[in-house]
Homo-oligomer: A and B are copies of this chain.
């Protein structure tokens, strides 16, 4: 939690467009015990760090609780919303779209929701991709499909043009589904709109298959990804065991964080090595990875290695500095191939047969529909985002903290990503299971 050490309470305050004077149309109450679902009070808070030492104090930092408010900012009948999806695919995007449309249309009574095509590009009229109208009928069946019916793209657009476009379309609410880059883009749009005092609420829904968004214990798509990654590790195990000195090498997603690699390793129970971006990767030397692998193969005749795509960047950098050629440069981005070649040349030099089977399932995983637990998360994120936006909150992200949804300012949640703490329970469990330090 040290990356939060400089966090102050003021960093966690949410911006709103103005006072909430309109009664919510939702069939909820503010009275506990009346068997009617409850609105969430606007001063409901969530302790940021619930862990403490009996000998110490509870950290008083807190986050704003998400949920439907009794008083809202926008008059639903006069409101127009838009949804944009950006970045790489992740299981569950269509679920978020579907629930947001349902909540806006059926429950709040918002008459029109626009779907922006192909990410932020669709907010740039010059790109020529007009929004589509998202009706409940159109989105009824989309949640069983992977991908995003809106299309996606990478990269930002000029926030001035974006705000011009949104205002010209009469849009009051923009829900931006995407990762860190997208949320930085959303922040620029929100701030441009605030500067103009325009009635435009911008609310982010975090989408990152790597699970590396701050203030999000789990993002949607992560469980689906870990489930499929487990399957791939299990298949790599089958391939590795079927030949003499077989090595199943599986590259998984995780540019800066090893959550998928570590979690899939634990879920599978079949990997013998798990390599993550948070820890340097040493190949050479008596305690380097290659000698460990040799000892493992000598003892068990097969091995399964999981590597996060962001692991070993120290090695790829060295390689680049040594003046690698075009081919080397291409490999730079790919620790999987690099490792495959290093393993093969190491064992060849030792005259030891080795049979490396390489698996790179990134697209297989990203294109999946959401598994049930992720569908539930999407439901929750989408509704919370709609509630926040209807209450006029802006420049914020919906987070998930201790299983409750919270509001987090985009200034606090963007720019630095969440990483796996190598002293945490998650990583010590990986070491306990694989025994990878002991070879």
Contacts and interface: CB of A to CB of B under 8 A. Distances in A.
A182 interface: no
B46 A51 contact: yes
A234 B27 CA distance: 28
A228 B230 CA distance: 16
A416 interface: no
A71 interface: no
B267 A375 contact: yes
Nearest to A355: B153
A239 B98 contact: no
Contact of A52 (B47, B327, B361, B380): B47
A219 to B, nearest CB: 13
Given A32-B423, A153-B244, A427-B37, A364 B235 contact: yes
A292 interface: no
A145 interface: yes
Nearest to A326: B327
B145 A51 contact: no
A62 B38 CA distance: 26
Contacts of A65: 51
Contact of A373 (B47, B223, B435): B223
A379 B52 contact: no
A95 to B, nearest CB: 8
B238 A89 contact: yes
Nearest to A263: B376
Interface string A61-96: 010010110000000000000000000010000010
Tell me the interface secondary structure of chain A in the complex: mixed
Interface in A31-74: 32-38, 41, 43-47, 50-55, 58, 62, 65, 67-68
Nearest to A223: B373
What is the total number of copies of this protein in its complex? 4
B242 A147 contact: yes
A373 B375 contact: no
Interface in A90-149: 95, 98-99, 102-103, 106-107, 118, 121, 129, 143-148
A153 B380 CA distance: 38
Nearest to A146: B238
A2 B33 CA distance: 10
Interface residues of A, number: 107
A239 B367 contact: yes
A321 interface: no
A43 B54 contact: yes
Contacts of A437: 27
A359 B232 CA distance: 14
B50 A402 contact: yes
A36 B423 contact: yes
Contacts of A51: 44-47, 65, 404
Given A27-B437, A37-B427, A372 B263 contact: yes
Interface string A236-267: 10110111100000000000000000011011
A34 B34 CA distance: 52
A363 interface: yes
B423 A372 contact: no
A293 to B, nearest CB: 19
Contacts of A371: 227, 371
A184 interface: no
A52 B28 CA distance: 20
Contacts of A373: 223, 226-227, 267, 373
7 contacts: A28-B428, A50-B402, A143-B269, A145-B238, A151-B241, A236-B363, A379-B429
